[in-house]
């Protein structure tokens, strides 16, 4: 874990940094709750809960504005350098990722509302929602862990997020910006990725073959799968920022498997 809490000579600077950090972590907690509620609304067919998620999106946006303001103030007043500069830049990027993850939660809530309209206000079939349930578990764990890594500036936790992110790829067939040469090979082989997102779509399509009226529902399910995969991707971005804070190394667009090996080896 990297030390970022040792006090500055100007103690007010510490308070301002810690306030910006607190705002981001609180925003993260709210986004996590939004994701949980949106998927729960979908599973239980709870329109009230879905509307609550949609309404709360504005609060998430307001959080981002507050964070931006705190960061503007910090840069203008303190001219941060080194780890403080990296920390502040990272917080700004994380706030952006969280805001977009919040948007995705609201999109899931809208899908829930549409699905309820299509199913005459009855929850969609558990079979159709099967893949969503598995993906939701992985996505929320990723987001939670990335926020935990940020809170502690813990490289190991951030690396765990990259490792678990590959599970997300298996489940959703989602290719993030960190797609590796290996994953391209998998795509060519049509093996693991076929087991993931394509399989989820094929499974969903079987419902369409059985009953063409289910096309709308199935499309909504695909939207939700994609939204959850995107949220997982934002968690990966947050983990990248944790590495940037701790190591001063920008690891975006890099092969994460090699990165994990390099950083873990270095530690060992």
Partner 1 sequence: MSTTVEVATEDAVAMTASDLEQEGVFGGTVGDYTVKDARMQCRGVDVYYGEKRAIKHVSLDVGKREVVSMIGPSGCGKSTFLRCLNRMNDEIPGCRVTGTIKLDGIEIYDKKLDVVPLRAQVGMVFQKPNPFPKSIYENIAYGPRIHGLTNNKAELDELVASSLRKAGLWDEVKDRLDQPGTGLSGGQQQRLCIARTISVSPEVILMDEPCSALDPIATAKIEELIDELRENYSIAIVTHSMQQAARVSQRTAYFHLGDLVEVGETNQIFTSPNHKLTEDYITGRFG
Shortest distance, CB of residue 100 to partner 1, whole angstroms?
A: 24
Does position 6 interact with partner 1 (CB under 8 A)? The reply is yes
Does position 11 interact with partner 1 (CB under 8 A)? The reply is no
State which of residues 61, 69, 122, 253 lies at the interface with partner 1 (CB under 8 A): 253
Shortest distance, CB of residue 265 to partner 1, whole angstroms?
A: 7
Residue 45 in tokens: 């067919």
Site for partner 1 in 169-198 (CB under 8 A): 180-181, 184-185, 187-188
Structural element, H or E, at residue 56: helix 47-78
Nearer to partner 1, 72 or 253 (CB): 253
Residue 17 in tokens: 């940094």
Contacts of 240 (CB under 8 A, 6+ apart): 158, 250, 251, 252
Nearest by Cα to 27 from 61, 54, 50, 55: 61
Nearer to partner 1, 3 or 210 (CB): 3
What does the alpha-carbon distance between residue 268 and residue 264 come to, in Å, rounded to a whole number? 6
Shortest distance, CB of residue 240 to partner 1, whole angstroms?
A: 11
What does the alpha-carbon distance between residue 149 and residue 152 come to, in Å, rounded to a whole number? 5
State which of residues 8, 51, 100, 152 lies at the interface with partner 1 (CB under 8 A): 8
The stretch near partner 1 (CB under 8 A) out of 130-138, 144-152, 221-229, 240-248 is 240-248
Does position 7 interact with partner 1 (CB under 8 A)? The reply is yes
Nearer to partner 1, 24 or 88 (CB): 88
- The neighbour count for residue 220, using CB atoms within 10 Å, is 23
Q: Are 165 and 176 in contact (CB under 8 A)?
A: yes
Q: Are 231 and 104 in contact (CB under 8 A)?
A: yes
CA distances from 141 to 13, 62, 206, 254, 261 (A): 33, 25, 29, 22, 22
State which of residues 120, 210, 212, 265 lies at the interface with partner 1 (CB under 8 A): 265
Site for partner 1 in 21-80 (CB under 8 A): 78-80
Chain residues that interact with partner 1, rule: CB under 8 A: 2-3, 6-10, 13, 78-86, 180-181, 184-185, 187-188, 246-249, 251, 253-255, 258-259, 262-263, 265-266
């Amino acid at each position: 874990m990297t030390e970022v809490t040792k006090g500055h000579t100007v103690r007010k600077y510490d308070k301002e940094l810690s306030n910006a950090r607190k705002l981001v972590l609180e925003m993260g907690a709210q986004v996590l709750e939004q994701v949980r509620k949106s998927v729960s609304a979908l599973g239980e067919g709870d329109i009230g809960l879905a509307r609550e998620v949609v309404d709360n999106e504005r609060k998430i946006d307001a959080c981002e504005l507050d964070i931006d303001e705190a960061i503007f103030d910090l840069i203008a007043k303190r001219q941060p350098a080194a780890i403080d500069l990296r920390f502040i830049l990272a917080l700004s990027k994380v706030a952006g990722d969280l805001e977009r993850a919040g948007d995705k939660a609201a999109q899931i809530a809208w899908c829930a509302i549409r699905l309820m309209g299509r199913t005459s206000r009855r929850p969609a079939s558990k079979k159709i929602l099967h893949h969503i349930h598995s993906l939701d578990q992985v996505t929320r764990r990723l987001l939670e862990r990335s926020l935990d890594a940020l809170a502690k500036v813990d490289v190991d936790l951030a690396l765990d997020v990259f490792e678990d992110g590959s599970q997300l790829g298996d489940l959703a067939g989602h290719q993030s910006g960190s797609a590796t040469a290996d994953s391209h090979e998998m795509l060519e082989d049509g093996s693991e990725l076929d087991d993931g997102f394509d399989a989820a779509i094929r499974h969903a399509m079987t419902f369409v073959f059985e009953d063409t009226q289910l096309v709308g529902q199935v499309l909504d399910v695909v939207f939700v799968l994609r939204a959850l995969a995107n949220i997982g991707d934002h968690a990966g971005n947050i983990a990248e920022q944790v590495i940037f804070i701790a190591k001063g190394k920008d690891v975006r667009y890099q092969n994460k498997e090699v990165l994990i090996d390099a950083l873990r080896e270095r530690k060992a």
